[in-house]
Structure 1
Amino acid sequence: MQVAELDLDPPDSSGPARVLSLRPGPGGAPVTAGEVFVLVRFRGRPVATLTGTVPEGTDPAEALAALARERLGGMRAPAPEPYGDLPRTSVVVATRERAGRLARALDSLLAQDHPDFEIVVVDNAPVTDATRDLVEHKYMDQVRYVREPVAGLAVAHNRGVAAADGSVIAFTDDDVVADPHWLTALGAPFAEDPRIGCVTGLILPAQLTTPAQILLESHGGFAKGFAPRTYDPARPPADEPLFPFTAGRFGSGANMAFRTGALKAVGGFDPATGTGTPARGGDDLYAFVRILADGHRLRYTPDALVWHHHRETPQDLRNQAYGYGAGLTAYLTALLARRPALLPALLARLPRGLAHARAMTAHREGGEGVPGEHGTPTHPWPRSLSRLERRGMLYGPLGYAKARRRVRGTPLPWEGR
């Protein structure tokens, strides 16, 4: 399935939307006849995703524009986002032995339209000099290189926090391509609202070339929709009865930013969570809930867009399903271990939480109207993956306990600075 971006002039009373541009997704070829996953923009602003077919012998731009007009109806352009004085921002990218992918990510980060930012690459438990050589030879003074010898994504992120000099710290992965406006959109809410402690953004697939990638995106992928939303612990959302413990609703670690002082105040990321540890994940979820539990607001903005290269093989997807389940219960275990005062709130939500977990891992016959209506009923979620998620949930607390023993007594890298 091809991936493309279609930019339209929003429709008004005088006529239909006008095509401003059609371009392939990151690294893709020009759009041709066939199946297409398309991000629809209105004058550059992301508004929806659609899937459709470009018939042979038709102009792809006009065919997709017609599809957008049919599916989106009278959708209007989103209101302009205010962009005041953007704070100095540090972008932290943790990586391990993936220099080729890292270069692609760094190229997109260096093309950001943000006026004041730095990039810090954290080389996590390296076994070769490939990452150091890439940064020091290709990017020289444009990117800072930091080495973290202890394996684990949360440990690497904490090392990045210690090295960063921005009042805001953004995190992304080495397998993404960032939209040129990503960092500006991610940083703007911090300037607008001093109570914002965390901002997350939109994650879309960079390519859909394998069955595993299409299956993941058919069931929502990492997308959280196209409506901006603010989560305020002082006003718990009525439609989120498990708030704030359904942290996966807030965003993902490939596209998140924190006010530096707020993140340090809650102790950063729990080093016993994350990819590369026995806990398998949960580092981002832990940070989201800690920020909210400390009284800060969390903002989701779809204007902050990155394109993610999904896992490519069935085995990758199986590992991911197990890791998600493990990360979920590992992060909850971490919360209770480090913030026992949250236990009553968690227990009060436990019955609904168990029902939510069962629903989340249930066998699904088809797409569920995921954000942008890009789900498809032709790709059922395998029962084997649901079972792996549940097995991961059972393992998560044990994995966290193992990981915590390994890092116990290790000081945070910014302590004493």
Structure 2
Amino acid sequence: MASTTRPDPGVAIIICCYTLDRLDLLVAGIDAARDQLLVGDQLIVVVDHNDELRRELRGRYADSITLVANTGTRGLSGARNTGVATATAEIVVFLDDDATLRPDALAAARSAFADGSVVAVGGAVVANWEMGHPPAWFPEEFGWVVGCDYRGLAADGAEIRNPIGAAMAVRRAELEKVGGFSDRLGRVGTVPAGCEETLMGIELRQRFPASRIIRVTGFAVDHVVPAGRSTLRYFTDRCRHEGRSKAVLSGMVGADAGLAAERSFVVRTLSTGVLRYLRQSVTGQGLAALARIAVLVLGLVVTAGATAAGTLRIRGNRPESRDPATALAAGESSVTAHELVTVVIPTVGRDSLADTVRSILAQDHQHIELLVVDNRPHRGDAVRIVAGIDDPRLTVLDQPVPGVSAARNLGHRMAAGRLVAFTDDDALADPGWISGAVESFRADPVGAIGVVTGRVLGTETTNRVQEWFEEAKVFDKGEVPTVWSLNRHEIGPELGEFGPRGPFFPYTAGECGSGNNMVFRSSALASIGGFDERLGTGTPTRGGEDLDAFRAAILHGWSIAYNPNAVVRHYHRDNMVELRAQSYGYGTGMAAGLTKFVLSENPAPILRRLPRGLHMLLSPNSTKNEDLPTDWPLRLRALEAWGYVTGPFLFVRSHLAGRRSGGAR
């Protein structure tokens, strides 16, 4: 190892391996990496569930490298996460066990991080074909099939969506904040799956929107392509597995984010590739060029077909196409009394946040983690407010993307619990809030409950404005446990009975609960794509994201249980200025949510219900308005009605703003 002083930042090279068959290549890669380390750097070799290989490496290297066994799920993602957990350096560099650093490659990667905006780097992966050259039929555009560079890659220094896994480097702290690599993706043994680097790149950009992922060609490796990967059979297998991985990825982040680069690749790179090979076919390369065209089309068809089939399979496994009675077999209802629950509190730095946090940490259900998501991190108020609260269960996350939906989605992505609870930074949870919600999930015999909501009462009633809000039962849904669902199924007696359906059920979903007291199965929230970031406080629509999520859950086949014993207390607005803004926001949020549905789904159900729905929303004698206090100001009704009028326009505005920033679903 070199003895020169290490400049910042320090690096930890992580090489993951799983088989003795590549031992010679692995040794070459380790030796090349050792030659480029500086004092204070680390070289971590992670062995993926192969004790014989670990013993062989320990005998060869003794204490000159850090040798660890994969403590995570078997496969490349679990091994990489183990390496990250072992690393202490600021930058983690990932190399494949059949890739060898070229001279000065590590220095090129290290220097790229001198730019503070760079969060990750992708290197150049040069194919070293064991047979000396690629097969004559192999199209350059499909170099990714063998894990190497391909025609169409960005130039040196340009931004990329994600690096190629054989040579990539990431800031360790940022990688840990997005949860590392997903074990739902990535290679396991010889199964040629992928996309874990793609998901990592997408999540880094979403979590740190001001950051950049760039390509640095000086950070180069020679990647061995064995003869077994030079066959047409391997080519089609790799394309098929890549398509399946793309389907899983799209299900996790949405098709827009998951397939954006692929669409560009098809339109630009593959189309021009066909023209290139046609020219080559008439300028001396003949049958070989025509074969490349045929294989290029074959690769596109196989990959696209596998993506489509995988997407249909995933949709077919969602709750809407599954009998709830089969959910127990899938383990979805196996909620225990000691279930880990993640509580997410989005905040803009209100002083009331400290009391909210203390109320969560005082829950009688102790097995929780608490994620406070700062939606205005540039001000640092959230960190300041909770600085005096010393509890290992508390973590503060930064979400610079404005809007309560973006904050909640980040909390969900970072959640360790299978149940994820949400409340606001101006609310106080009763000690039995979480335990009450957990009991509702446990009382579900078929695993159909995807959401539990609870009662919301006022923290205080000091003037007539707060009395109005409490008497109007804007948040309080009463004392009767109720289940809301499209289809009746078996429910435990503790869950009550199925609720009546109003004229807009389930499209308004206001009867199901409110966003300051809701607990989701993580799988249910993932199945609907999380909260829509075009809706909610902090966006032009001002609200509606919670009701939109309730509606989506019901339409996806989940049920919502309302438990009046799961109580959260909310600070009701004590002045007319704030109450007017709140009333207007209720109107805009509901109308925006309905507008989204009409524009993106089948509008017929909404249009059929419109006359009766308008009567329910506007008539003083409707079930919605009959509980309003007799002296409820007419101005508040008018503002809510005006919100119904402006909500559709605000949704369009929010949608366009999201498209410009690339942040909205």
TM-score normalised by structure 2 residue count:
0.46
Q: What amino acid does structure 1 have at the position aligned with 2:464? A: P
SS in 2 for 1:381: coil
Q: CA deviation at 1:351?
A: 1.7
Q: Where does structure 1 differ by over 6 angstroms across 4 or more consecutive aligned residues?
A: none
Q: What amino acid does structure 1 have at the position aligned with 2:410? A: R
Question: Quick one: which of 254, 271, 277 aligns to 2:533?
Answer: 271
* Paired position in structure 2 for 1:207: 460
Q: CA deviation at 1:411?
A: 6.1
Using a 3 Å threshold, how does the CA distance of structure 1 residues 402 and 219 change in structure 2: closer, same or farther?
Answer: same
CA distance in structure 2 between the partners assigned to 1:239 and 1:195 by the alignment: 19
SS in 2 for 1:180: coil
Report which of the two has the higher share of helix.
2
Contact kept? 1:233, 1:297, Cα under 8 Å:
yes
Instruction: Choose 140-149 or 386-395, whichever is displaced more.
Output: 140-149
CA distance in structure 2 between the partners assigned to 1:151 and 1:241 by the alignment: 33
Q: CA deviation at 1:349?
A: 1.5
SS in 1 for 2:423: strand
Give the share of equivalent positions with the same residue, in percent.
38
Report which of the two has the higher share of strand.
1
Question: Quick one: which of 331, 334, 341 aligns to 1:89?
Answer: 341
Q: What amino acid does structure 1 have at the position aligned with 2:394? A: V
- Aligned pairs for 1:395-414 (under 5 A) are 395-408=646-659, 410=662
- Aligned pairs for 1:142-153 (under 5 A) are 142-153=393-404
- Aligned pairs for 1:8-47 (under 5 A) are none
Q: CA deviation at 1:161?
A: 0.8
Q: CA deviation at 1:118?
A: 0.7
Residue segments in structure 1 that go unaligned for 5+ positions in a row = 1-82
* Paired position in structure 1 for 2:513: 251
Higher relative CO (CA 8 A, sep ≥ 6), structure 1 or 2?
Answer: 1
CA distance in structure 1 between the partners assigned to 2:433 and 2:644 by the alignment: 33
Instruction: Choose 262-271 or 125-134, whichever is displaced more.
Output: 125-134
SS in 2 for 1:391: helix
Q: What amino acid does structure 2 have at the position aligned with 1:93? A: I
Contact kept? 2:348, 2:376, Cα under 8 Å:
yes
* Paired position in structure 1 for 2:411: 160
* Paired position in structure 2 for 1:347: 607
Contact kept? 1:87, 1:190, Cα under 8 Å:
no
* Paired position in structure 1 for 2:441: 190
CA distance in structure 2 between the partners assigned to 1:322 and 1:363 by the alignment: 20
Q: What amino acid does structure 2 have at the position aligned with 1:110? A: L
- Aligned pairs for 1:56-205 (under 5 A) are 85-98=337-350, 100-139=351-390, 141-193=392-444, 194-205=447-458
User: 1:356-395 CA deviation, whole Å, 9 max, x = no partner?
Assistant: 1212xx499xx94x5xxxx765xx1111111111111111
Q: What amino acid does structure 2 have at the position aligned with 1:231? A: W
Question: Quick one: which of 432, 455, 471 aligns to 1:218?
Answer: 471
Contact kept? 1:204, 1:308, Cα under 8 Å:
yes
Question: Quick one: which of 628, 635, 643 aligns to 1:392?
Answer: 643
User: 1:30-52 CA deviation, whole Å, 9 max, x = no partner?
Assistant: xxxxxxxxxxxxxxxxxxxxxxx
Question: Quick one: which of 570, 576, 587 aligns to 1:314?
Answer: 576
Q: What amino acid does structure 1 have at the position aligned with 2:605? A: A
* Paired position in structure 2 for 1:229: 482
CA distance in structure 2 between the partners assigned to 1:363 and 1:239 by the alignment: 17
Q: What amino acid does structure 2 have at the position aligned with 1:358? A: L
SS in 1 for 2:574: coil
Q: What amino acid does structure 1 have at the position aligned with 2:486? A: P
* Paired position in structure 1 for 2:592: 330
SS in 1 for 2:357: helix
SS in 2 for 1:145: strand
Instruction: Choose 228-237 or 251-260, whichever is displaced more.
Output: 228-237
Q: CA deviation at 1:237?
A: 5.1
Residue segments in structure 2 that go unaligned for 5+ positions in a row = 1-334, 489-497
SS in 2 for 1:138: coil
Contact kept? 1:186, 1:257, Cα under 8 Å:
yes
SS in 1 for 2:561: strand
Q: What amino acid does structure 2 have at the position aligned with 1:209? A: T
Tell me the matched-pair count.
317
Q: CA deviation at 1:168?
A: 0.8
SS in 2 for 1:301: strand
CA distance in structure 2 between the partners assigned to 1:237 and 1:229 by the alignment: 6
Contact kept? 2:368, 2:393, Cα under 8 Å:
no
CA distance in structure 2 between the partners assigned to 1:310 and 1:202 by the alignment: 14
User: 1:239-267 CA deviation, whole Å, 9 max, x = no partner?
Assistant: 43321123111101110011101111111
Question: Quick one: which of 617, 630, 637 aligns to 1:357?
Answer: 617
* Paired position in structure 2 for 1:43: none
Larger radius of gyration: 2
CA distance in structure 1 between the partners assigned to 2:521 and 2:360 by the alignment: 19
Contact kept? 2:433, 2:567, Cα under 8 Å:
yes
Q: What amino acid does structure 2 have at the position aligned with 1:229? A: T
Q: CA deviation at 1:84?
A: 5.2
Contact kept? 2:363, 2:431, Cα under 8 Å:
yes
Residue 551 of structure 2 corresponds to residue 298 of structure 1: no
SS in 1 for 2:573: coil
- RMSD of the TM alignment (CA)? 2.2
TM-score normalised by structure 1 residue count:
0.72
Instruction: Choose 122-131 or 100-109, whichever is displaced more.
Output: 122-131
Q: What amino acid does structure 2 have at the position aligned with 1:175? A: D
Contact kept? 2:532, 2:664, Cα under 8 Å:
no
Contact kept? 2:482, 2:499, Cα under 8 Å:
no
Q: CA deviation at 1:135?
A: 3.2
Using a 3 Å threshold, how does the CA distance of structure 1 residues 358 and 315 change in structure 2: closer, same or farther?
Answer: same
Q: CA deviation at 1:229?
A: 0.4
Contact kept? 1:88, 1:117, Cα under 8 Å:
yes
CA distance in structure 2 between the partners assigned to 1:211 and 1:196 by the alignment: 38
Instruction: Choose 389-398 or 214-223, whichever is displaced more.
Output: 214-223
Q: What amino acid does structure 1 have at the position aligned with 2:485? A: D
CA distance in structure 2 between the partners assigned to 1:170 and 1:238 by the alignment: 25
Instruction: Choose 279-288 or 108-117, whichever is displaced more.
Output: 108-117
Q: CA deviation at 1:115?
A: 3.8
SS in 2 for 1:233: coil
CA distance in structure 1 between the partners assigned to 2:615 and 2:621 by the alignment: 14
Instruction: Choose 274-283 or 109-118, whichever is displaced more.
Output: 109-118
* Paired position in structure 1 for 2:550: 288
CA distance in structure 1 between the partners assigned to 2:526 and 2:596 by the alignment: 17
Q: What amino acid does structure 1 have at the position aligned with 2:506? A: P
CA distance in structure 2 between the partners assigned to 1:311 and 1:383 by the alignment: 17
Q: CA deviation at 1:280?
A: 0.7
Q: CA deviation at 1:190?
A: 2.0
